[in-house]
Amino acid sequence: MSSFTESGLVKKLSELNPSQQSIQTLSLWLIHHRKHHSIIVKTWLKELHRVSSSKKLTFMYLANDVIQNSKKKGPEFGKEYENVLLKAFKLIAGSGPEEKTIHSLNRILNIWGERGVYDEPKIKEYSAALNQREKSPDAAATATAATPSKKNGEEKREKRKQEGGDSNGHGHKKKSKSSSSSSSSSATANSGSSAAPVEKKPVKSEVTIEVNGKVETHVTLSPHQPDGDPPEPEELIRVIQELENSASSDAAVRERIANLPPEVSELSALAKLEDKEAAMRLAVKVNDAIKILNDYNARLASEMDDRKKLTTMLKDFQREQQELLAQAEQRLEEYTSKLSKIKEVQREVRNHMNNLPDLTALPDVTGGLAPLPSAGDLFNIHHH
């Protein structure tokens, strides 16, 4: 791992991208150089002023990662960031951020409150600074949601347990019966959000990096990815694979629906009923058909929500890949230019070497000359 310099930190911050790997790698580097915590946080704040509004959110994810993962090695970063976070939130609020940026930052504050990263008055102060630009009741509700009390957190956890919600924020729960609203909430929970509170057990992902010959493991305590942020490739693949078994591809149910007796959907069949028993038999068939169709329609509604979520994920993933591609092209151009300059220097060195005289071809200037006197000879001459 490279040694710490302020210019090196500025370069690394400029190369930071929203991917989990990029944030974790730089976070581990900063924690390794925690003795420079004061310079690191000051430089982070200075560069936060310079970056675009969209990248400010990535800077906050980096700060969140450093604050939480550095606690086990010392409180330096937590205390240092505490002094500048109010300025950071005010700066972001004044930069005209998107709603999803404000939402993601409020959820980070929510996590800090639940995990005791900072005390409640500090969280409220940060939340007020972040949401100062908004005066609507909805905004006030968002700000309030960012500062839950311990009691509220326990109530939410109990409620999720009763509802049987997915505790780790990963994976879809497949049910034969589900409503449109429940599938929508499932899609939100499965969107890989990094700021969503994890109630039962925090999701942990680890990155192992060798630092000066010693292997260090970096644990990401924060949930995975925020709403609207690019998903990891593995998560995207998982969602696509789950859609392979969606309702629209269930040939068995479609065949059952196609083979329903025609009288369950034709009013003219009522005129043919001759007695009460025939009417009861038709009623049973109609009820069975309604049950099959209701279940299938609920599954289709859930699939629609999942496909909408997948569309958003694909757009975010494509956007991230385009940004990474642009960075890679920029670096390629930069290093191609450097390589060209190095090759030019190489040619100049070779030309210079070729113009140097060949010492082996020079005449022997020492031939025929008397040998130099020894130290003893010089001593004798001096006394004579």
DSSP assignment string, 199-230:
-SS---EEEEEEETTEEEEEEE-S-S--TTSP
- DSSP, residue by residue, 96-136: ---HHHHHHHHHHHHHHHHHTSS-HHHHHHHHHHHTTT--S
- Categorize the per-residue pLDDT at 341 as very low, low, confident or very high, splitting at 50, 70 and 90: very high
Asked if 125 and 239 sit in the same domain, the reply is no
Print the domain residue range for 99.
6-131
- pLDDT tens digits along 253-308: 888 888 888 888 888 878 778 888 888 888 898 899 999 999 989 989 998 988 98
* Residue that finishes a domain, picked among 78, 99, 131: 131
Q: Is residue 324 part of a domain?
A: yes
Q: Is residue 275 part of a domain?
A: yes
Distances (CA, A) of 364 to 315, 358, 361: 78, 13, 9
Q: Is residue 334 part of a domain?
A: yes
Asked if 127 and 10 sit in the same domain, the reply is yes
DSSP 94: T
Q: Is residue 222 part of a domain?
A: no
* Residues 364-382, mean pLDDT to the nearest whole number: 66
Q: Is residue 364 part of a domain?
A: no
More confident call, 207 vs 351 = 351
* Residue that finishes a domain, picked among 84, 112, 131: 131
Give the pLDDT of residue 269. 77
Q: Is residue 149 part of a domain?
A: no
What's the structural domain count of the chain?
2
- pLDDT tens digits along 85-129: 999 999 999 988 888 889 999 999 999 988 889 999 999 999 999
- pLDDT tens digits along 179-205: 333 333 333 333 333 333 444 344 445
Quote the mean pLDDT of the chain: 75
Please give the Cα distance from 251 to 269 (Å, whole number).
28
Q: Is residue 242 part of a domain?
A: yes
Distances (CA, A) of 347 to 334, 336, 337, 354: 20, 16, 15, 10
List the CATH number of the domain containing 78.
1.25.40.90
Tell me, rounded to whole angstroms, the distance of Cα 320 from its chain centroid.
10
Please give the Cα distance from 165 to 185 (Å, whole number).
10
Give the pLDDT of residue 293. 92
* Residue that finishes a domain, picked among 87, 104, 131: 131
Q: Is residue 48 part of a domain?
A: yes
